[in-house]
Amino acid sequence: MKFAANLWMAPVVLLCAGVGAQAQSKKAPRTETKTVVAEVKTTGVQDRAYWSELLYKMASPVILNLANGTLKKNMPVEKSPTYALNADKVTYLEAVGRTMAGVAPWLALPDDETKEGQQRATLRKALLKGIANGVDPSNPDYLNFRSENQPIVDAAYIAQAFLRAPKALWEPLDAVTKQRVIEEFKTLRTRTGAYNNWLLFAGINEVFLLSVGEQPDPARIEIAKRKILEWYEGDGFYSDGPSFSLDYYNSYVIHPMLVDFFKVLVDNKRAKEEEYELALKRMVRYAEFLERFIAPDGSYPAFGRSVTYRTAAFQALAQSALMDKLPEGVVPAQVRCGLTAVMHRMFDQCNNFDANGWLVLGFCGHQPMIADYYTSTGSLYMATLGFLPLGLPATHAFWTEAPADWTSKKAWSSQPFKKDYHVEY
């Protein structure tokens, strides 16, 4: 993007991205030097163009290779130094499932003649072909659902993608491919995972089957529902299992997946509307914290498990924006500007792609030593989950509102900002 690329060539502050540069007069004595800051506001149109280009760059190596039957051939497989899984059997499904979940709302938008619209159409067409390849046993990119425990996780992201964009990604599939997908999901029932957020993965795989007219396993649904709700700690935070961990798993998994899980159950009269509304209120409260985590410069705290998932840390905020359910007092523009700042900080100032456009292990650049024992190249495509608001049309207030400062930027520039207190649901 030319505007962003020129930031270091002129004394400007890109308000929506939260990036600044300063210029000083060389002729003035040191004691009289003044800081000159010129402000340039990016519009929602410019922000959307940046987001869509970045998401296309991130997702296209996975989707286009899958469509060509070359994902396993071309995707590099880099593993954590402490890696303990069988990467050849899990990393490709990770890349596909996580990418699908992130791009699904965007690909659900109607085609148009803009550059973005053409990119969407290209990825949607390729992904439909790729899904067929991924469940075709004769294809070189046939994906493994049938062994190892990890596929329970990444099938869940495929399920979430289908739930987020059924008309774009499920309904156009041919009958053979649909049946193959269903059969692959049913094979997941031969295994169980960890006693934590994995219960929710198993549950959403079953409600996906319910959504397409199949008989789900009621026990997996009920266990997921009961245990996740029992693990609610208050003020928007769930414990990930019996022991609480302060990390981003409430955003990577729990809130967005639980809301989508309950929506299917309510639509099929297997849960009460108030159960869904409670899950949604809790996600919105957690999203309020995420918005405050964005520092004035677009950085955010790198703590807890799986920080290599990068912008997935903001999935709950992104989904709240997508659903028009932002916290009270938080306007769409401040979320757009805050998330744009994160993306500029993360992807303009950190070398997070290799020479062929694949994500590299790390948080800000190549930092394999920080990757967890379950992290390989495919795992990193959780980052797409921070882009969910691209599923809002360009005419939505999220994209048309004038730039607005996010909470921490207000706080650190002496502006009034909303006080925060404990909220209980």
The string of pLDDT tens digits covering residues 167-188 is: 999 999 999 999 999 999 999 9
> Residues 319-332: what's their mean pLDDT?
97
Instruction: Work out the percent of the chain whose per-residue pLDDT is above 70.
Output: 91
Average pLDDT (324-338) is 97
- pLDDT tens track for 131-172: 999 999 999 999 999 999 999 999 999 999 999 999 999 999
Q: Model confidence over 28-84: pLDDT tens digits?
A: 444 444 443 345 678 999 999 999 999 999 999 999 999 999 999 999 999 999 999
Q: Are 340 and 17 in contact (CB under 8 A)?
A: yes
The count of other CB atoms within 10 Å of the CB of residue 2 is 5
Cβ atoms of 154 and 97 closer than 8 Å? yes
What pLDDT, on a 0 to 100 scale, did the predictor assign at position 328? 94
pLDDT in tens, 274-296: 999 999 999 999 999 999 999 99
Of the pLDDT bands very low, low, confident and very high (cuts 50, 70, 90), residue 16 is confident
**Separation CA 390–CA 328 (nearest Å):** 22
On the question of pLDDT at 5 being above 70, the answer is no
pLDDT classification of 253: cutoffs 50, 70, 90? very high
Domains of the chain: 1-41 (no CATH), 44-411 (1.50.10)
Mean pLDDT along residues 336-361: 98
Residue 425: predicted pLDDT: 82
- The predicted model scores a pTM of 0.92
Report the pLDDT value the prediction gives residue 17, as an integer from 0 to 100. 58
Question: For residues 72 and 51, what is the distance between their CA atoms, to the nearest angstrom?
Answer: 27
- pLDDT of 394 > 70? The answer is yes
- Going by C-alpha positions, the residue among 30, 43, 45, 34 that lies closest to residue 11 is 34
The pLDDT of 347-353, averaged and rounded, is 97
- Report whether pLDDT(19) > 50: no
The pLDDT of residue 407 is above 90: yes
Predicted local distance difference test score (pLDDT) of residue 15: 59
